[in-house]
Amino acid sequence: MNVNIDGLRRNATGEMNNLADIIERACFHLEEDDKEELIQAFDEAAASVDMFNCVYSDSVENFSNLSDKLNIRRLEVDNE
């Protein structure tokens, strides 16, 4: 069985960034404590998924180091 790990990581990163956009829009309607909790939970999940972009094997095709090519953006709490 062959798996394109690079493709899986590109898809996961794209979906996490899409989720970040959705969370930002939803946070507008949340209480401050709920907003901070949601953003913190997303950022922790993003860090775990993003770390997978740094894992690679020179001997496996389509399992390259994507750490400088893919990044999941982090959210920030806006305390205005």
Find where tokens 């956009």 sit: 21
| H or E element in which residue 34 lies | helix 32-52
> Could you give the number of structural domains in the chain?
1
Q: What's the rounded mean pLDDT across residues 4-10? A: 97
Query: Would you say the C-alpha torsion 29, 35, 38, 44 has a positive or negative sign?
Result: positive
Q: Per-residue pLDDT for 80 more than 60?
A: no
> What would the pLDDT profile of 55-73 be if each residue is shown by its tens digit?
999 999 999 999 999 999 9
- Asked whether the whole model's pTM tops 0.75, one would answer yes
Q: Answer whether residue 41 is part of any domain.
A: yes
- Residue 2: the pLDDT is 85
Q: Which residue range(s) make up the domain with 27?
A: 5-52
Q: Answer whether residue 21 is part of any domain.
A: yes
Nearest to 10 by CA among 49, 59, 57: 49
**pLDDT cut 70: percent of the chain above it:** 95
- Neighbouring C-alpha atoms within 13 Å toward the C-beta of 78: 9
- Residue 76: the pLDDT is 83
Find where tokens 């798996």 sit: 3
